[in-house]
Amino acid sequence: MADISGSSSVQQARQLLADRLRELVKDAGLEGKDLAALCGWHPSKVSRISTAKTQPSADDIRAWCRACGAENQTDDLIASLRTVEGMWVSWRRMEGAGLRRAQEARLPLYERTRWFRAYSPGLFPGLLQTFGYTEDVLRAVQQRRVPVDDVADAVAARMERQQVLYEGQRRFAFLVEESTLSNGLGTAETQAEQLDHLLTVNVLSNVSVGVVPTRLGRERMPVEGFWIFDKAQVNVELVSGYLTLTQPSEVAAYADTFATLADMAVYGDKARALLAKARDSLV
């Protein structure tokens, strides 16, 4: 498997899996060359897996455990492999069966989260999107990279997920770049409806919407869009896929970035003035 991320969360999880596999070899009284012979592999393959340079497949783990006489460890180790694989998911893999499944897969995470922080440099965050805006966004995604057309079902799934805004004791802090207010997505009618919706959502006592103004000399440039779920997890949407970070140091780094951007943002009347300006520009 290719090295798809330099993230320390991904690397640490891969290393932990490699360490556990290496311990099985030691406990079995084997050396790497012995394991390679039993599995019918070149010794370099054992070395690469043992040092986390190559990620094993599920079949590799089955063969490894069988050779070490530790087949009772197979299921647990394969589960660890799936965890590693889940930290980085390419869009092709996530959306191969359509967009609806990708939308529904995130619902459990949203339901168990109590503190949401989201930063978006280009699109309004999904929890703030209107039906029409969501349809435009997902239609654009489907046309670009998804062979299955289930946009209508995916829109419905995202709309259902928005119920977390109104249920339970949850807090939400959203930051968008000012350029997002006039990014030209969809029609003028759709964009106007979306801007009006932001004004409505922003009056909820548990929701904060900040706009980071476009200006010269800003101390922090825009970064990739990300979500922080409580203090436990960060999800980052990149061009090639969906990254999940759980390392405390990485979660803290994104939390610090969010705090810096939040200090730069405007709220209340100033934010409403920027929304009104963008709204008026559509006329």
2 confidence band (pLDDT: 50, 70, 90): very low
CA–CA separation, 218 and 232 (whole Å) = 29
List all residues 6 or more positions away from 257 whose beta carbon is below 8 Å from its beta carbon.
Answer: 119, 220, 223
More confident residue, 108 or 82: 108
Q: What is the mean pLDDT of residues 128-137?
A: 96
CB atoms within 10 A of CB 184: 7
Q: Is residue 157 part of a domain?
A: yes
In terms of C-beta density within 10 A (0-12 exposed, 13-18 middle, 19 or more buried), how is residue 240 classed? exposed
- 29-60 pLDDT, tens digit per residue, is 999 999 999 999 999 999 999 999 898 999 99
Q: Give the number of domains in the chain.
A: 2
pLDDT at 3: 40
More confident residue, 79 or 18: 18
Q: How far is CA 241 from the centre of its chain?
A: 8
Q: What is the mean pLDDT of residues 59-66?
A: 96
Q: Is the pLDDT of residue 148 over 70?
A: yes
> Could you tell me if 276 and 207 lie in one domain?
yes
Written as six digits, the tokens of 131 are 């039906």
Q: How far is CA 214 from the centre of its chain?
A: 26
pLDDT at 127: 97
- 114-124 pLDDT, tens digit per residue, is 999 999 999 99
> Could you tell me if 108 and 64 lie in one domain?
no
Q: What is the mean pLDDT of residues 103-132?
A: 95
> Could you tell me if 228 and 273 lie in one domain?
yes
CA–CA separation, 120 and 176 (whole Å) = 5
100 confidence band (pLDDT: 50, 70, 90): very high
> Could you tell me if 13 and 82 lie in one domain?
yes
- Please say whether the beta carbons of 13 and 84 come within 8 A: yes
Q: Is residue 2 part of a domain?
A: no
At which of 87, 113, 144 does a domain end? 87
> Could you tell me if 106 and 240 lie in one domain?
yes
Nearest to 139 by CA among 187, 174, 182: 187
- Please say whether the beta carbons of 113 and 105 come within 8 A: no
CA–CA separation, 21 and 80 (whole Å) = 11
pTM summary value:
0.78
Instruction: Report which DSSP code applies to 228.
Output: E
Residue whose tokens read 């995202």: 158
Q: What is the mean pLDDT of residues 218-235?
A: 90
CB atoms within 10 A of CB 236: 18
CA–CA separation, 279 and 198 (whole Å) = 11
Q: 3-class SS at 88?
A: strand
At which of 28, 53, 87 does a domain end? 87
Q: Is the pLDDT of residue 216 over 80?
A: no
8 confidence band (pLDDT: 50, 70, 90): low
- Please say whether the beta carbons of 225 and 119 come within 8 A: yes
Written as six digits, the tokens of 282 are 């559509």
- Return the CA Rg of the chain: 23
Q: 3-class SS at 186?
A: coil
Residue whose tokens read 């394991």: 35
CA–CA separation, 225 and 171 (whole Å) = 19
Q: Is residue 3 part of a domain?
A: no
Q: What is the mean pLDDT of residues 245-274?
A: 92
CA–CA separation, 1 and 56 (whole Å) = 8
> Could you tell me if 74 and 108 lie in one domain?
no
Q: What is the mean pLDDT of residues 220-234?
A: 92
Q: Is the pLDDT of residue 209 over 80?
A: yes
CA–CA separation, 255 and 223 (whole Å) = 13
Q: Is the pLDDT of residue 4 over 50?
A: no
At how many degrees (to 10) do helices 8-27 and 58-67 cross?
20
Q: Range of 48's domain?
A: 8-87
Q: In degrees, to the nearest 5, what angle opens at C-alpha 253 toward C-alphas 250 and 257?
A: 145
